[in-house]
A and B are shown apart, each in its own frame.
Chain A
Amino acid sequence: MSISVSIQTADFDVGAETAGLTGLDGVGAVASFVGVVRGTDVLAMTLEHYPGMTERALAEILQQAQQRWSLVAARVIHRVGRLLPGEHIVFVGVASSHRREAFEACEFIMDFLKTRAPFWKKEETSQGARWVEARQSDDAAAARWRP
C-alpha cells in the first residue's frame, strides 16, 4: 500500500488529491475528509506542530489503518501556520477496493490524528488569542476503535 504524509503551510487542491487516489490500480472506492477553519467568532487560527514527531505519528496511524483494513492508498495533508476562516486545515484520503474499508479507515485516521498527532491550535478572537483546549469527545471517539 502507498501511504503519504505532508505537513505544509501551502493550501492543497482537494480535487487533485482525490483524483490521485481514484487513478490507482485496484481502487473501487475513495473516501476523503476535509477539515476547515470555522468562522464563528474566530478571526484566524495558528497551527503549531512538533516537526519530526508529527510525520512519525501520522505514518504510524496510517500503518495501523492498513493493518486493520485492506487499503490501496492513504494520504494525509495537514497545514500549519496562520489560517483564516474557510481555509482548509486537513485532508485525509483513503482508497480501497470497497467503500466500507474506505469510510471506516478515513474516520479512524481522523480520530487518531485528533488525539495522537502533535498539533496545537491557537485561535484569534475579538476577545484576544487563546489556545484551543483538547476535547474529551475526541478521546472518546478514538477509544471506540479499541479492539
Chain B
Amino acid sequence: MSITILYFANLRETLGIERETVELPITVQTIGDLREWLCARGGNWNVLAGAQVRAALNQVLTMPDASIGADDEVAFFPPVTGG
C-alpha cells in the first residue's frame, strides 16, 4: 500500500525532504514499524529514532502501535513550540 509521509522543522532540514509518497512493504503495519523502516535507510535517517520524535496519523497525534492504512498521511516532527 502507498502512503504519504511529511517531515517538519529540524527533521525536514536534517533529512532534506518535506514530503514523499512511498509504497510500504507488507511488514510495515504500524507507526513504529514505519519509523524503523525509515531509520534503516541509514545516514541521517537515524534522526527519526530520537526519543523526542512525535508522529501524527491523518493529522492527529498518534502512538507507535497505531495501524497504518492505504493512502494514510503520516507526519514526523519534534515537540511543538508554538504560541
Binding site for B on A (CB under 8 A): 35, 47-50, 52-53, 56, 78, 89-90, 110, 113-122, 131-134
Contact = CB atoms under 8 A, between A and B. Distances in A.
Contacts of B10: 120, 131
Contact of B82 (A47, A131, A133): A47
A137 to B, nearest CB: 12
Nearest to B73: A52
Contacts, number: 70
B80 A115 contact: yes
A80 to B, nearest CB: 9
Contacts of A131: 9-10, 78, 81
A138 B52 CA distance: 15
Interface residues of B, number: 17
Nearest to A139: B79
A119 B9 CA distance: 9
A53 B83 contact: no
Contacts of A89: 82-83
A133 B61 CA distance: 19
A50 B75 CA distance: 9
Nearest to A76: B83
Nearest to B56: A53
Contacts of B59: 50, 52-53, 56
B8 A118 contact: yes
B60 A120 contact: no
B72 to A, nearest CB: 13
B53 to A, nearest CB: 12
